[in-house]
Amino acid sequence: MVKDYKEMSKEELEKELANLKAEYKRYQAMDLSLNMARGKPCHEQLDISMGMMDALNSDADLSCEDGTDCRNYGVLDGIHEAKVLIGAMMENKPENIIIYGNSSLNVMYDTVSRAYTHGIMGNTPWCKLDKVKFLCPVPGYDRHFAITEYFGIEMIPVEMTPDGPDMDVVEKLVSEDESIKGIWCVPKYSNPQGYSYSDETVRRFARLRPAARDFRIFWDNAYGIHHLYDDDQDYLIEILEECKKAGSPDMVYKFSSTSKITFPGSGIAALATSLNNLEEIKAQLTNQTIGHDKVNQLRHVRFFGDIEGMKEHMKKHAAIIRPKFEAVLEILDRDLAPYNIGEWTRPKGGYFISFDAPEGCAKAIVDRAKKVGVTMTGAGATYPYKKDPKNSNIRIAPTYPSLSDLRTAMEIFTVCVKLVYADKLLKEMTENAEA
C-alpha cells in the first residue's frame, strides 16, 4: 500500500530508502548520458524545417515585391514581407516591427545595453545612475537574469502565480521606486511553468504608472504560437494595443523569434514596439549595422508563405513534442503523486515543465541525477543570482531527448526525488529524537 513519506515510521522510511538506493545503483551501472538541461528542439523537429533549404536556390529571384535585391546592402529594419509574416505571428502591425538577425536574446541584450549607455528617450543613461533595478518574476528565465546581472542591475524577485506575476507587488514597487527601470516577462507558456498571463494581468501591466519615465516592460513572447494541442490553447491579450488604450504606448518592448520554429541560430528575430521607440532604436541601429540578413528573411517568407503556413508547421512541432510532455506528466503522476511528493505544472504549450521539490531538496536532486548520467538545468537557475530561497524549483526540459531516453531520465529523476526526500526526513527524525 502506497503511503505518504511523512506518515511512515522510521523503520518504514529506512526500508524505503534502502530500496531506493538499490534502484539508484542499478541506474548507475547503466553508464547513461542523458541531457535535458536546456529547451532545445530535437533532431526530428529540425528535420521538419529542412524544406527551407529548398525555398531559395541559385536560380531563385531574390527580389522583394518592392524591388529590393536581398543580396545587397540596405533595408535597416527588415524587408516588408518578413514584417508582414512576423507581424502576424506577433499580432502586431508591420509598421511597428523591426526584423533583426537570428536571436531575440541578442535583441534583448542590445536593448538593455542601449538604455545603459545612452538612456531611453532623453532620460539619464542607466550607467550614470547610482542604482538601477529590474523586477524578475520567479521562477523565470535564467538568460534574462544573466543579462541584467551582467550590467550590474539589481534584480528584485516577484512571485509568479498561474495568472502571471503578483501584480499587487509589481504595481506597488514600480509606482514607488524610480530606480526600477524594467521587468522581464515571458507572458505566454512562461519559462519554466508554462503559465500564460490572464486578461486582467495584461491589462494591469498596461495600466502601470511607474515612477521612472524610462520604465519599460520587456515582453518576451517566445512561445506565442507554441501550442501543444489544437483544441486546448491559452490566449494572450496583445500588450501593445492595451498600452495604447491605457495611454502608455511607449512602455513595452515586445520580442519574438523563429528560433524554435525553424532553426535555432538561423532563424529571424523581431522587436515590436511603439513608433516613438522605433524611431530611437533605428537611430542607434544605423550606427550598428547596414541591415540584417535579408536572404534569410526572404527564405522564411517563401517557406511559410503566410501565418497559416506557419501555424500548420507548428502543428508538426506539437505532434513531435506533445508525447514527451505527456510522458513526463505520466511518470510524475505515477511515481510521485501517490506519495504526495512535490508539485508540478501542466502546461498547454511552450518548452518546459516546472517542478517544485520539497523545500531544501532541489540541489541534491539535480546532483544525484547528474551522478547517474542525467543532466538537468542547475537548481537555482530559475532565480536571480541562481539563488532559490527555498532550494525547491527544478526546470524540466522534455523536448530534446528521444521519447525512450526521456522516459528513462524521468524515472531516474523520480527515484532521485524520493531518495533525497526520504533521506531528509530520516535526518530530521534523528535530529528530533536527539533534541
What's the mean per-residue pLDDT of the chain?
A: 97
What's the rounded Cα separation, in Å, for the pair 126 and 128?
5
Q: What is the dihedral of CA 58, 64, 66, 69, to 10 degrees?
A: -50
Distance between CA atoms of 291 and 286, rounded to whole angstroms?
8
Contact 410, 331 (CB under 8 A): yes
At 3 the pLDDT is 78
Q: DSSP readout, 371-383?
A: HTTEEEPPTTTTS
Residue 30 pLDDT > 70, yes or no?
yes
For residues 231 and 227, give the distance between their C-alpha atoms in angstroms, rounded to a whole number. Answer: 10
Judge contact between 113 and 151, C-beta under 8 A.
yes
pLDDT over 80 at 127, yes or no? yes
Do the Cβ atoms of 261 and 314 come closer than 8 Å?
Answer: yes
Q: How confident is the model at residue 14 (pLDDT cuts 50, 70, 90)?
A: very high
Residues in the chain: 435
Which pLDDT score is estimated for 96?
Answer: 98
| Region for residue 291 given its phi and psi (left: phi exceeds 0; alpha: psi -120 to 50; beta: otherwise) | left
Cα 409–Cα 230–Cα 217 angle in degrees, nearest 5: 80
**CB contact at 8 A, 107 and 273:** no
- On whether the CB atoms of residues 347 and 228 are closer than 8 A, the answer is yes
pLDDT in the model for residue 434: 78
Query: pLDDT of 105-117, one tens digit each?
Result: 999 999 999 999 9
Note the pLDDT tens digit of each residue in 299-338. 999 999 999 999 999 999 999 999 999 999 999 999 999 9
pLDDT > 90: what percent of the chain? Answer: 97
Determine the 3-state secondary structure of 160 from DSSP: strand
Omega before residue 162 within 30° of 0, cis = no
**Residues 376-386, mean pLDDT to the nearest whole number:** 97
Predicted pLDDT at 433: 78
User: How far is residue 360's CA from residue 357's CA, in Å, rounded to a whole number?
Assistant: 8
Question: Looking at residues 139-146, what average pLDDT do you find?
Answer: 98
Q: Which three cell numbers stand for residue 189?
A: 507558456
Q: Kindly indicate the confidence band of residue 163, based on its pLDDT and cuts at 50, 70 and 90.
A: very high
What are the beta bridge partners of residue 45?
none
Tell me, yes or no, if the pTM score tops 0.75: yes
pLDDT of amino acid 120: 98
Per-residue pLDDT at 166? 98
Nearest-angstrom CA–CA distance, 26 and 14: 19
**Residue 435 pLDDT greater than 70, yes or no:** no
What are the chain's domains? 5-45+311-434 (3.90.1150.10), 63-305 (3.40.640.10)
> Which whole-number Å values give the CA distances from 30 to 33, 156, 426, in the listed order?
9, 43, 28
Residue 400 has pLDDT above 70, yes or no: yes
Answer positive or negative: Cα dihedral of 300, 301, 303, 305.
positive
Banded pLDDT at 188 (limits 50, 70, 90)? very high
End-to-end CA separation in angstroms for the chain: 32
Is a pLDDT exceeding 80 seen at residue 2? no
pLDDT of residue 139: 98
- β-pairing, 133-138 with 180-185? parallel
* Phi/psi of residue 56, nearest 5 degrees: -130, 140
Q: Tell me the torsion sign for CA atoms 262, 257, 65, 288.
A: negative
> Would the pLDDT of 422 be above 80?
yes
179: DSSP letter: T
Q: What is the pLDDT of residue 218?
A: 98
Read off the pLDDT band of 430 (50, 70, 90). confident
Write a three-state SS string for 30-60.
Answer: CCCCEEECCCCCCHHHHHCCCCHHHHCCCCC
Q: Which residues of 361-370 are buried (b: 16+ CB within 10 A; e: fewer)?
A: bbbbbbebbe
* DSSP category for residue 260: T
Q: What is the CA radius of gyration of the chain?
A: 24
The mean pLDDT of 379-390, rounded to a whole number, is 97
Question: Where does the pLDDT of residue 356 fall: very low under 50, low under 70, confident under 90, or very high at 90 and above?
Answer: very high
pLDDT recorded at residue 1: 65
Nearest CA to 364 among 332, 388, 335, 329?
388
pLDDT(51) > 90: yes
Is 76's pLDDT higher than 70? yes
